[in-house]
Structure formats: C-alpha cells, structure tokens
Structure 1
C-alpha cells in the first residue's frame, strides 16, 4: 500500500483524491483554523493522524 503525508492539508481535497486511488494517509497537518474545521467535518480528525501547527 502506498502512503502519503498531507502537509498543508487545507480542507482535505488532495487526501480524498489519493484515498480514492487506494493510498493511505499516514499524517496530516494544517495551520488555518477554518480549514481545520472543514477537515474535522470530513471526519479526518477522528483517525488520530491529524495535528494543528
């Protein structure tokens, strides 16, 4: 399985695309609180791989 780190994750669009291709996110981070809120709504923060910087 291919893995990637989602730095400057934004709202998670890049992650969604790669996961649809079968990749696995091993880590993600985002500094913008508005983007973090959207990321949380997409349930990405529940996987324990995301952090705020």
Structure 2
C-alpha cells in the first residue's frame, strides 16, 4: 500500500476568520466545500489541501 494523499484536519475557532491565512498567505485558492463547521481548501494544482474544522457544528 502506498500513501497518495494526507489531508490534515485543523481545528479553528472560526473558519471565516482562518480562511484568509490559508487562501491569501498559503495560496490554497479552491474552496472544495464549506458546510459552515467544516471547509476544505486546495491548491489550484490539487497537490496540497487542508480541512478546517470548527467546534460549532451546525
């Protein structure tokens, strides 16, 4: 078995507030999905991604 992707789940207090760092600073420009309490941002080439998770699940 070979690992092809690791997707970190990062706990944040507020996804909207944290989004700027991951999109503007790191360049993860594609919002794959956003359910309000969990959101995934990916690089345009798809090689990097991060999933932000808030304790405030709706």
Q: Name the structure where helix makes up a greater proportion of residues.
A: 1
User: TM-score, normalised on structure 1?
Assistant: 0.31
Q: Larger % of strand: which?
A: 2
TM-score (norm 2): 0.30
Give 1 or 2 for the bigger CA radius of gyration. Answer: 2
